[in-house]
Each structure stands twice: as C-alpha cells, then as structure tokens.
Amino acid sequence: MAVSPHSFPPRKRRPSAAAFVSPKLSAPILLQSLLSLSQEISSTKPLKFLLNRYSLSMIRKSLLLEIILHDLLRRHPVLSLSPSASLCLEEMYILLQRIKTLLEDCSNGSKIWLLTQNQSIANSFHELTLDLSTLLDIFPVKDAALTQDVEELFYLLRNQTSESSVFLDPRDEALRFRVLKMIDRIKDEIVPDYSELLEIFTMIDIRDSSSCREEIENLEDEIQNQTDEKSRSDVIALIGLVRYAKCVLYGASTTAEYGFQRKDSISDIAVPADFRCPISLDLMQDPVVVATGHTYDRAAITLWIESGHNTCPKTGQTLAHTNLIPNRALKNLIAMWCRQERIPFDITESNKDRVNDVTLNKAALEAMRMTATFLVNKLATSVDSSVNDVVYELRVLAKTDPGSRGYIALAGALPLLVRYLNSENPILQVNAVTTVLNLSIFESNKSLIMETEGALIGVIEVLRSGATWEAKGNAAATIFSLSSIHSYRRRLGRKTRVIRGLLDLAKDGPISSKRDALVTILTLAGVRETVGRLIEGGVMETVSYLMNSLPEEAVTILEVVVRKGGFVAIASGFYLIKKLGVVLREGSDRSRESAAAALVTMCRQGGSEMVTELASMAGIERVIWELMGSGTMRGRRKAASLLRILRRWAAGLDGNGGAGGDSMTVTSSRMGGESTTFVSSSRGAIVHS
C-alpha cells in the first residue's frame, strides 16, 4: 500500500557520501536488508506532477527488484552467494540507499525549489537508473538459480533500466520557465500578475496559507543544504516570492494558523548550555567573541562593557581590546535548533541585505519590499474585523524575515500601528506592540519610532496599563531595544511613567515579564541621572522583593545602583546588607560576584554602620574566604577587598575600609507609619524617605 511522502522523517541535512558504504553483511542478512529497502521505495507514493514519470518509474523498478530479491532470499537462506554476486548486491545496497534519499528529498522538500532544479534532479534520477542497469548487467543471474518466471522479470528489469537519454516533462519545463521569468520581473520591480501567480501556485499544489508556510519552512531548511552563496541567495529569493504569494493570494494568517504563540520566555525549555549567554543566561540572539575567546550575547556583553567593566566576565582577565567578533557558526546552530523547537529566532543584522549570512539578490529584496508594501496598504484599508490578522502578519514578517523590518517601517506601518496600541482588543494590542518591538530591532527604525507621533507614548501606555502581561513585557522589551542608543537611553530614563511601569512590571509580572523589565532597568541604570529616579521610584524595594526569586538580576541591578547612585543609594540599601550576605553564601557564581561588588561599594562609602551590619552576620568571614577560593576572578578580587574592610574595621583602623574621603552615618526611624532614613556625611545631611 502506498504511503504518504511525509512518512519519511524530514531531514535538515542530506547524508554525506560517507553515509553510503558497503554493509559487509552475510548473504542472508544482506538480501533481507536489500528486500526491506526495495519495499520502502516501492511503497512510496509517486510525486504528483514534478518528475512524476521518473518517480513512478523508479517505484515500478523497485517492485520488480523486490520480487527478484524475495526469490533470491528464498533460494539462499543460509548458503553464501558467489563472490561476484555478493559484490553486486553490496553495490546495489548503496544504490538503493541513494534512490531512497533522492525520493525523500523530492517528497519532503520544497516544491518550488524542486521545480527550479528540475533538470538537475532529472539527471540524478537518470544516473541512478544507469547505475542500476550496470549492476544488473554484471550480476551473475545464471549462478543465482532463480525460478524461470523470476529470471524473466530480471531480464525485463534490465531492459527497462537501459534508458538512452534524460527525459524532461515539457509541462514541468514550461512551469519552471514561468517561475524564473516571474523572479526576473520582480528584479525589475514589476509586481506579479495576480491571476498568473495564482495559476502557478495552484499547479505547484500550494493552495492555501498553511501550505505556503510549510513551503517557506522547507526553503529555509534548503538554505542549509546549499554550499555556494549563489544557490543560497536564489533560495532566499524564492522564500520572498512564496511569502509575497501567501499574503496576496491567501490573506493574512491568524495566530492559531501559525501553530505557535510567541514565547515570552524559553526558561521552560531545555536550552543547550552552549547556547545560553554566560551573563544573561538567556538564549543568545547575536553571539560574539571577546578578546579572551569566550562567547557572549552582544547585548549583554555590550552592557557589561558600557557599565565600566574591562574584564572578561567568565575569567576575570583584563580584555586586551573591546572588539566584538560575530560567532556566525554558533549563531547558525542556534537558528537551526530554534527551528526544530518551533521557537522564533531573531536574527539581528545591521545589514538588511543579508539573511543567514547570505547576500540577498535583487529579486529577494524586491519581494520583501512588495510584501511589506502590500501588507501596510492592506492595513490602511482594513476594517475592524480583519485588522488583527493583518497586524499579526506584519508581526510575523518582522520576526521571521529580519530583512523586511526596514521595508515595513518605510512603507508607513508605524503611524498605523500606533492606532492599535491602545486597542480594547487585548490580542490586537499584543500584536501591535510586538510588531513595534520587532521593528525596533532594526537600527534605523529606532529613530522612526522615537519621532513618530504617538509611538513612544503608546508603548509607554502599554507598559503602564496594557491589557495583558505579554503586552506589558513586550513594551518593556521595546524600551530596552530603543535604549541601546545612548541619547534615547537618557531620554527614556527621564520619563517617570517609564520608571514606574518597569518597576511595577518587575514586581508584579510573571517571571518572563519580570526579566524583560529588569534587563531594561539595568540598561537605564547605566545613566547616572536615571539612578536617582529609579531610587525615588522604589528600585531598592523592588530589588529586595526579587532577591529570592531572581537573585542574579536583582543583585546585578543593585550593584550598578549603589555604584552610580552615591550616598542616597547606599543609605536606601542599608537594610539589604544581610540579604546580600545570604546571596554571598548561597547564590550562583555570578550573583555572588555582584553581591560582593555591591557590598564593597556600600561598606567603603557607607561608613562603619554598614560594616557593622555585615560583620554581625554569623560566619561571614568563612563565606568570604570560600568566595576567594572558588568564585570568579572578579568575585575573588571583590571578596579579598571585602575581607580587608572587615579586618580593618575589627582593628578599629578605619570605619569605611580605608577608602578615605567621606564617612557616613545611617540612622533609620519610623514616623507615622513611614520609614525615614537620615544620612549624615562630611558633605552634609541627606534625608531619604
């Protein structure tokens, strides 16, 4: 009985030549293996139209071969075959594996790519047929002692394999010519004719949005199979054509139709350790290599360097330079893993003319532009019932096709999306703010978002009062993306509603949204004037609240705040001393390092009361000694500094660890139910409530 072509498991990479080797099996086992292979091939459903004649012919030949092998196995259940017969059958085993692989590729691969490679694949079928003919010619059929009927089938099969030339179906060739001509017209910026586009895709058997999506996925896998840049670029051009056809012919997709929801966090998925950034512990989107040879996510290591560090976070070694070298091999592995796990993967490229490290040709670029323009124009004219589907399609396009981010913005999408940031439909609001987030990843779009009337205000309003946590988390992520530009970081840090919204999200949101908020807070804290607003907004209370659930993120923020916030920050963090001591004892290497750094700053600048509070913790010296022996390089240095401070305090030499300069006295009291901290220093008195 015929089986579906999809009964073959999809293969992302074709087997290498070394995969097809002689099995060196005993005669009965070899014959049984050959019989199984021929049965698999003969039970395959032939291709529907492309190369139908070749696939059908190969399946029929396998049926005849199955009968011959069955008779051989029946007549040689134990006895070995002659050396010449065994050699032929070993070679036939390799040949059948190649035939099976070719049929799998044709059955499971991209239809439109199969069409464009029609002649090459026809040649492959013809070569395999000729190889089979050669093996049948030299096979010692008389020594095999086949029954008379089976021997006649053998000669019939041998005659059938002696084809003289390659056959190309005129219909397939005509269709291939039409597709290539359409690609050439797109290069010339000519929009494909709707009726012709529909006819071509109907003939290829791509008849709805779902089959278009499957075709795009197959083409994306095909990119990994191509070894030269031109072929990979041609595949990307076909992806552009299919994506355009999907939008024009079959309308915008719905969330359910795509088969996946945006994953706010992949913390529940077993991410390979090598794919996680050592700093953020999240899946790396843009892995880069620093001077020490270690790999980090670009956003995380950039923030680390901009925060004043000149060392490698993993080793503590001083960086010889701060150049960041893209780790493209790892990035491709992460992208492949994300496709297998059905996780959308952001490919952040500074050059929109490259996808998967392939330079796009004119057809691919024009197809992107046409798709973006079509969707934006459709959004401008859509009625309420269809708006959400169009916005979702833009969201997916900007997510899965990074090169389109610039075209979507240039087509005028942002003013249209602003309308739906305050939508009462929570799904539409999520799709709108997520589309803005995806667009913001493209560098030149950041200024457009900041300058488009209502865009930034709309994102901030979603952050403060969005209908769902997903919408709020994506709004926070948008602010994080925009804050990668220093001038925007300062501007965003001046907005009280941004500070308040991030702190509320960090305190009350789900874990994934908390992380979105915290990484944005950490970025904004890189500007000294913003730290004061964060303290006024309650960042210390938020950090204290999160110290148990997200210690690494919380302590890292605390370290930056106390370093840049001065006396007010240190005073407001007085009650966190013992919590930092607990992290120092029980936390991860990264959180212990940040806790030690924060404690050094607080004890040096906070005076004897800070040191006294730390020294009052039982066993604190032993904890510090352990960190000096087993922590990161930076953690060890900070632990050593902390130990010196404690010992000088114990000896009564210097209440602030010998740092010199200002000393500070901290006094806390409660008045009318509110906590007030009085800070006295040589520079004067500060009151922080």
- pLDDT of 160 reads 85
Select the more confidently predicted residue: 657 or 450: 450
pLDDT, residue 270, reads 66
Classify the phi-psi angles of 220: left when phi > 0, otherwise alpha if psi is within -120 to 50, otherwise beta: alpha
For residue 335, what pLDDT is reported? Answer: 78
Domains, the chain, in order of start with CATH, read 27-168 (no CATH), 171-250 (no CATH), 284-341 (3.30.40.10)
CA distance 58 to 235: 28
More confident residue, 197 or 316: 197
What pLDDT sits at residue 164?
66
Q: Which residues pair with 680 in a beta bridge?
A: 665, 685
Strand residues in 380-525 grouped as ranges (E): none
Give residue 473's pLDDT: 93
Per-residue model confidence as pLDDT tens digits over 511-524:
888 988 998 998 89
- The owner of tokens 């205000």 is 457
pLDDT tier for residue 258 given thresholds of 50, 70 and 90: very low
Residues contacting residue 501 through CB under 8 Å, at least 6 positions apart: 460, 463, 464, 472, 475, 476
Give the SS3 label for residue 228: coil
Distance CA 654, CA 538 (A): 31
In this prediction, residue 32 carries a pLDDT of 86
Between residues 107 and 309, the one the model is more confident about? 107
Q: Alpha-carbon distance 37 to 30, whole Å?
A: 11
Q: What is the mean pLDDT of residues 567-573?
A: 83
Report the percentage of the chain scoring pLDDT > 70.
83
User: What pLDDT score was predicted for residue 23?
Assistant: 66
- Smallest Cα–Cα separation from 443: which of 410, 482, 390? 482
Statement: residue 123 has pLDDT above 60: yes
pLDDT above 80 (res 430): yes
d(CA 589, CA 299) in angstroms, rounded, equals 21
Average pLDDT rounded to a whole number, residues 650-665: 52
With a CB cutoff of 8 Å and minimum separation 6, the contacts of 602 are: 562, 570, 573, 574, 577, 610
Query: Does the global pTM surpass 0.85?
Result: no
pLDDT tens for 621-644 read 898 898 888 878 888 899 899 999
- Tens-digit pLDDT profile for residues 454-474: 999 999 999 999 999 999 999
Tell me the angle at which helices 620-630 and 589-606 cross, rounded to the nearest 10 degrees.
Answer: 130
pLDDT digits (tens, 9 = 90+) for 314-362: 777 788 888 888 888 888 788 777 766 656 555 444 444 455 445 567 8
Task: For residues 75-85, give the mean pLDDT.
Answer: 69
What's the pLDDT band for 12 if we cut at 50, 70, 90?
very low
User: In this predicted model, which residue has the larger pLDDT, 655 or 77?
Assistant: 77
Q: Please, which pLDDT band fits residue 447 given cuts at 50, 70 and 90?
A: very high
Mean per-residue pLDDT, 127-140: 90
With 60 as the cut, is the pLDDT of residue 292 above it?
A: yes
Q: 14 pLDDT band (50/70/90 cuts)?
A: low
